[in-house]
Chains A and B, each alone.
Chain A
Amino acid sequence: MDYANLRRQAASLKRSLFDQGYLDEQFCQVEDLQDEASPNFAEEVVSLFFKDSARLVTNIEQAMEKYPKDFNRWDAHMQQLRGSCFSIGASKMNNECTSFRNSCREENAEGCRRSFQKVKREHAVLRQKLESYFQLLRQAGPARTTAVRSGGK
């Protein structure tokens, strides 16, 4: 397996995520916090983010259904999701969260619904892209690995 090539692919994917605005420098900080003691820290944080944000998205969906036009409640839920987005540098998703909040402030229910669809879409896209990224990293292995797995018997 060409580990160097896999690492290049991972780096290229990461670069494109930054170029297209999916991620911002906070993601770099999360990766920087990886060390020997926590070699998979970034993947753990991202995994936790997607698990928790799925729950928060459901909460918002339920709030919008159960409490129509309760813009304060909708906003409070979205604030929670925004906080998580900030923590991993999920920039595009964060922007859609902000649009949602703006619509809440304007008491524009239709605007909220539109923004919420975008939040969900960005959430799904980012999840898929980061899953690909970490899969490449896992396949590439640690940067200095020169171990050869003896396949044959």
Chain B
Amino acid sequence: MGMMEENQRERMEDATVDQFPEGLRVLAVDDDCVCLKVLEALLRRCIYHPTMAMDAKTALKMLRTMKVKFDLVITDVRMPDMDGFKIRELIGLEMDMPVIMLSVDCYKKVVLNGINHGACDYLVKPVYTNDIKNIWQHVESRRRSQAISHMSRDNANDERVHPGSLAMSKDSKNKRNDEYDSNKNTESTHSSTTQKIQGWHGQLSFKTSF
């Protein structure tokens, strides 16, 4: 039993050394209770704070009441009351938060659909520890692009702003404009799709071996 405590302590220390943002508040939504139970354990293993919801209505209620300020949402694509793409749209309109899609489908068409709806990543079931370990990067990336866009807005004439970061701020502004302008129109222009793809760290997590 002493050995298990030691292992647990080592894991927590490793977590700190690996710079996980401990306590990342994740809302996970899936009508599959088995998947949700495993996902919750994975999230806790990464020292995140998971909250689970089994349908879209409950999830949106939790997000809107703001009793807990979530950092990130993981949602299954297929659910009986509302699909994950619609949830992503609503989250994009009402609150600025990264949304990761989750599905058994790994077909390119479905994944691209996820991208077009503004998902910041797409995980194919079964989800592995490494998939979950890296989700904090989406939160960090969003915070940075928001900070840069604030900077570039405030310093519009400042020539010292790096061209790379300016491009990123333009991307995030365009992305926000697209989200607010598109209502039920699910089609994105090619350029905004490209921007969204660029926002994915080149790390699409889906597996195509199936």
A binds B: yes
Which A residues are within 8 Å of any B CB, using their own CB? 26, 29-30, 33, 35-36, 38, 41, 44-45, 48-49, 52-53, 76, 79-80, 82-84, 86-89, 144
Q: CA of A26 to CA of B36 in the docked complex: distance in angstroms?
A: 14
Q: CA of A49 to CA of B104 in the docked complex: distance in angstroms?
A: 16
A33 B38 Cβ-Cβ under 8 A: yes
- Category for how many chain B residues contact A: 20 to 34
Query: Which residues in A have their C-beta under 8 angstroms from that of B32?
Result: 52, 80, 83-84, 87
In the complex, whether B8 has a CB less than 8 A from a CB of chain A is yes
A33 B41 Cβ-Cβ under 8 A: yes
In the complex, whether B5 has a CB less than 8 A from a CB of chain A is yes
Which residue in A30, A35, A44, A79 is a CB contact (below 8 Å) of B78?
A79
For B30, the closest partner residue in chain A by CB is A83
In the complex, whether B45 has a CB less than 8 A from a CB of chain A is yes
Query: Which residues in B have their C-beta under 8 angstroms from that of A33?
Result: 38, 41-42, 45
In the complex, whether B34 has a CB less than 8 A from a CB of chain A is yes
B35 A44 Cβ-Cβ under 8 A: no
Query: Which residues in B have their C-beta under 8 angstroms from that of A79?
Result: 78, 104
Q: CA of A89 to CA of B126 in the docked complex: distance in angstroms?
A: 8
**What 1/0 flags go to B127-156 for Cβ under 8 Å of A?**
011000000000000000000000000000
- Residues in B26-73 with C-beta less than 8 Å from chain A: 31-35, 37-38, 41-42, 45
B126 A84 Cβ-Cβ under 8 A: no
B35 A83 Cβ-Cβ under 8 A: yes
Q: A83-B35, A84-B35, A87-B38 are in contact. Are A26 and B126 (CB under 8 A)?
A: yes
Q: A44-B37, A45-B37 are in contact. Are A83 and B128 (CB under 8 A)?
A: no
Query: Which residues in A have their C-beta under 8 angstroms from that of B17?
Result: none
Q: CA of A81 to CA of B165 in the docked complex: distance in angstroms?
A: 45
CB distance from A112 to the nearest CB of B (A): 18
Chain A facing B: main interface SS: helix
Query: Which residues in B have their C-beta under 8 angstroms from that of A36?
Result: 1, 4-5, 8
In the complex, whether B201 has a CB less than 8 A from a CB of chain A is no
A86 B37 Cβ-Cβ under 8 A: no
Q: CA of A74 to CA of B33 in the docked complex: distance in angstroms?
A: 20
Which residue in B8, B31, B45, B126 is a CB contact (below 8 Å) of A87?
B126
Query: Which residues in B have their C-beta under 8 angstroms from that of A144?
Result: 1
In the complex, whether B125 has a CB less than 8 A from a CB of chain A is yes
B41 A38 Cβ-Cβ under 8 A: yes
For B1, the closest partner residue in chain A by CB is A144
For A33, the closest partner residue in chain B by CB is B41
A29 B37 Cβ-Cβ under 8 A: no
A88 B128 Cβ-Cβ under 8 A: no
Query: Which residues in A have their C-beta under 8 angstroms from that of B5?
Result: 36
Query: Which residues in B have their C-beta under 8 angstroms from that of A29?
Result: 38, 126, 128-129
Interchain residue pairs A-B with the least CB separation, the first 7: A33-B41, A86-B125, A86-B126, A87-B35, A26-B126, A84-B34, A87-B34
For B129, the closest partner residue in chain A by CB is A29
For B45, the closest partner residue in chain A by CB is A33
For A76, the closest partner residue in chain B by CB is B78
CB distance from B76 to the nearest CB of A (A): 8
Central interface residue in B33, B37, B78, by most chain A CB within 10 Å: B37
- Residues in B85-121 with C-beta less than 8 Å from chain A: 104
CB distance from B107 to the nearest CB of A (A): 12
